[in-house]
Chain A
Amino acid sequence: MKLASFVPVAALTRRSMGWTRSVQPPGRPNIIIFVFDAWSAFNVSLYGYGRETMPNLARFAERAAVYHHHYTTGTFTPPGTASLLTGTYPWSHRAFQLGSGIIDRYADKQIFSVLKDAHATCGYSQNKLVDKFLFQMEESLDAHIPIGSFSAQHRYLYNLPIFKNDGQVAFASFEDNIFQEGGGFDASLFFGPAFRTKTLYDRTVLTNLFQQDYPRGVPDSAELFLLEEVVDGALNTLEHSRQPALVYMHFFPPHEPYTPKAGCFQKFRNDTFISDISGPHPLSLDNKKKGTLRAEQRFYDEYLLSWDDEFGRVYDYLDASGLLDNSYIFITSDHGQIHDRGESGHMTSLLFEPLMHVPLVVSRPGQKVREDIYTNTSHVDLLPTIAALSGNPIPEWAEGEVLPGLGGSENIDRSIFVLDAKSNSSFMPLRKYSLSLTRSRFRLTRYQYPQYEGYEFYDLDADPGEKQDLYGSLPTAARDMQAEMLDRISDVNQQYMRK
């Protein structure tokens, strides 16, 4: 076992002074946010999936509000997470690309800055792209737990203490640049390959060491980690937190590679479940065969089951420690995951339900009964909701609404947007993008690229799998939504147009 899991959290944090102090006023509820990376509602039994992938989540849901139509705002980590943290859509925070940060004017407009006066704030992420955001927000964090604190392997350099004031530039300089991650050429001629060889050697040793426990390989977030150690570390953090606290924890599972523990490995191999997989979309990059996609979907499901085992421990701890009685606990994801239309993963320009529809389960302090909420909700709603729950005013910059069930009202006609613009500059008007607008039971999606342009329109009640594109018949709802979409694009582009 790794020592890090047992070290008091104050010893691990980059900023730990504030974490150990008492914060006033007392009596306010804690806010605990657990984000599971690349976690699609599509594959979760709680949301009607054909495999029993997350029984412990279902257990938790028995005393929580289950949001059945909750959407992220982007289909990969930076846009989705930045929206969750800032309460704004990607066209505002501009974290469009893998390496991008939140633009400067939103760096201090986020969930930690809203709550920092009355709550001890703590951020932890296993995903380096989110850890980079936490660096941007460090001024508002009492504790920023280093990315590798609960990992079995350490390879990142950007978070070394000498770069304490410049995490973002150090990140861009070292990660995937001076030292490559995976394939490619390092900027460092001699140290680059030497460092990578050492890293790969460490990985081989760890993989061999834990082969019995992890038959498909050790979980990998660029640093190898063990599911149980990460959970131990998280629970240790919670145990040492001063209350009331705002704790944000971004876990890498069930992000690929799908590496379940031995007990869940091949668990669904011989079941009868067969998912309905469509053929490739014109924008599909992988064009994988249906058999391959089904196999990968099964691996994903087995990894989910394995992660759910660990989540069961988290739930038991929350219950036993009394945190369920004095905390709002949010469980969600940054984005979904697809094994359909030729694509596997989430680095795609496609906007379909498995990529956008993410779980959201929220437990109120002392809640004993399950609630089901079917209204469309969005990641931009989390910040205003948390602000309201913690007795703070809702910031004027927030673009979402207070969640129904947590003080907000159901608004069935509201518009929910999801944007993917990874090939568009953050500083230029939106020209190359995928944008979906979901309103009530309808979804309009626009793909705007040099190689492919077009609209698609789906009735999600009649066709939840989005198989029948109704745009050709151009129903009235599609026309209205198209007008709203174009207006919105025009609005958000205004400030980026050349004078």
Chain B
Amino acid sequence: MVHSWSVRAFLYQVPSFLLYYKLGKIIAIFFYMMAFALLESILVTAALVLLGFVLPLKWFREGFPYKAFLTVSVAAGAMIYLQSILDNKLPPKETFLLLGGISFAAVVLLILLAHNLKFLQKVLLFIVDRLSILLYLFLPLSTIGLVVVMIRNFW
């Protein structure tokens, strides 16, 4: 999810990059973005794993793949909405409280729903399984990205 969002942003920028960067630099920028997305993904995953350890077994660790997927999906939706309203001025505190509250409620509700509906679990796990194919693409790209960033800065 993190990588796909990053690729979307990169593709959005490419037309303007083409005006003033040569191909080599554009590829380097892509790898910077992939490397950053990898770090972001690792930290998000770590936070979910931590949540699994902190919360009671049945709440989160049991059925971790679909519960984590639901949590990340709702959080991603909330963050995309937040991105859309952020400008040069900080939105009122109420906006953050409302967004946080709605997101939290949505996660709890969806997890409860999925916990009790086997069919929904199956659908979610099917989606997770399909999405995991992207790992075969993004993981090598991110690894190359890290190498590229290191080579460009340390050698």
Decide: A169 near B29, CB < 8 A? Known: A190-B44, A426-B19.
Answer: yes
Which B72-100 residues have a C-beta within 8 angstroms of A?
Answer: 75-76, 79-80, 82-84, 86-90, 96
Residues of B within 8 A of A162 (CB): 153
Q: Are A189 and B20 in contact (CB under 8 A)?
A: no
Q: Does B118 contact A (CB under 8 A)?
A: no
Q: Which applies to chain A's interface (DSSP): helix, strand, loop or mixed?
A: loop
Residues of B within 8 A of A185 (CB): 9, 12, 80, 83-84
Of A195-203, A298-306, A313-321, A473-481, which binds chain B?
Answer: A195-203
Q: Are A180 and B83 in contact (CB under 8 A)?
A: yes
Q: Does A211 contact B (CB under 8 A)?
A: no
Of B32-40, B50-58, B132-140, which binds chain A?
Answer: B32-40
Partner of B29, one of A173, A184, A203: A173
Closest Cβ neighbor of B150 among chain A residues:
A162
Bound form: Cα–Cα A61–B94 in Å: 54
Q: Are A187 and B83 in contact (CB under 8 A)?
A: no
Shortest distance from the beta carbon of A426 to any chain B beta carbon, whole Å: 5
Closest Cβ neighbor of A428 among chain B residues:
B19
Of A34-42, A93-101, A242-250, which binds chain B?
Answer: A93-101
Q: Does A191 contact B (CB under 8 A)?
A: yes
Q: Are A189 and B40 in contact (CB under 8 A)?
A: yes
Bound form: Cα–Cα A186–B10 in Å: 10
Partner of A427, one of B22, B37, B79, B82: B22
> Count the A residues whose beta carbon is within 8 Å of the partner chain — how many?
44
Q: Are B28 and A193 in contact (CB under 8 A)?
A: no
Q: Does A406 contact B (CB under 8 A)?
A: no
Q: Does A236 contact B (CB under 8 A)?
A: no
Bound form: Cα–Cα A75–B31 in Å: 33
Q: Are A97 and B19 in contact (CB under 8 A)?
A: yes
Closest Cβ neighbor of B19 among chain A residues:
A425
Bound form: Cα–Cα A169–B29 in Å: 6
Closest Cβ neighbor of B76 among chain A residues:
A189
Shortest distance from the beta carbon of B28 to any chain A beta carbon, whole Å: 5
Q: Which applies to chain B's interface (DSSP): helix, strand, loop or mixed?
A: helix
Which A161-177 residues have a C-beta within 8 angstroms of B?
Answer: 162-166, 168-170, 172-174, 177
Q: Are A191 and B40 in contact (CB under 8 A)?
A: yes
Q: Does A204 contact B (CB under 8 A)?
A: yes
Q: Are B19 and A190 in contact (CB under 8 A)?
A: no
Q: Are B76 and A163 in contact (CB under 8 A)?
A: no
Q: Does A312 contact B (CB under 8 A)?
A: no
Q: Are B40 and A183 in contact (CB under 8 A)?
A: no
Q: Does A392 contact B (CB under 8 A)?
A: no
The listed residue with most B CB atoms (<10 A of its CB), out of A169, A177, A189, is A189
Residue-wise interface mask of B (1-42) relative to A, using a CB-CB cutoff of 8 A (1 in contact, 0 not): 110011011101100111111100100110011001100100
Bound form: Cα–Cα A52–B17 in Å: 43
Residues of B within 8 A of A182 (CB): 87-88
Residues of B within 8 A of A190 (CB): 2, 40, 44, 75-76, 79
Q: Are B29 and A188 in contact (CB under 8 A)?
A: no
Residues of A within 8 A of B37 (CB): 187-188
Closest Cβ neighbor of B96 among chain A residues:
A197
Q: Are B89 and A200 in contact (CB under 8 A)?
A: yes
Bound form: Cα–Cα A174–B96 in Å: 25
Bound form: Cα–Cα A426–B21 in Å: 8
Partner of A173, one of B5, B22, B32: B32
Q: Does B152 contact A (CB under 8 A)?
A: yes
Decide: A169 near B86, CB < 8 A? Known: A189-B80, A425-B19, A426-B19.
Answer: no
Which A264-283 residues have a C-beta within 8 angstroms of B?
Answer: none
Bound form: Cα–Cα A193–B6 in Å: 13
Residues of B within 8 A of A193 (CB): 79, 82-83, 86
Residue-wise interface mask of A (196-218) relative to B, using a CB-CB cutoff of 8 A (1 in contact, 0 not): 11001101100000000000000
Q: Does A365 contact B (CB under 8 A)?
A: no
Decide: A96 near B153, CB < 8 A? Known: A182-B88, A190-B75.
Answer: no
Shortest distance from the beta carbon of A167 to any chain B beta carbon, whole Å: 10
B residues with a Cβ closer than 8 A to A are 1-2, 5-6, 8-10, 12-13, 16-22, 25, 28-29, 32-33, 36-37, 40, 44, 75-76, 79-80, 82-84, 86-90, 96, 149, 152-154
In the complex, 11 of the A-B residue pairs with CB atoms within 8 angstroms, ordered by the A residue number, are A99-B16, A162-B153, A170-B32, A178-B33, A180-B86, A182-B87, A187-B6, A187-B37, A189-B1, A193-B79, A201-B90
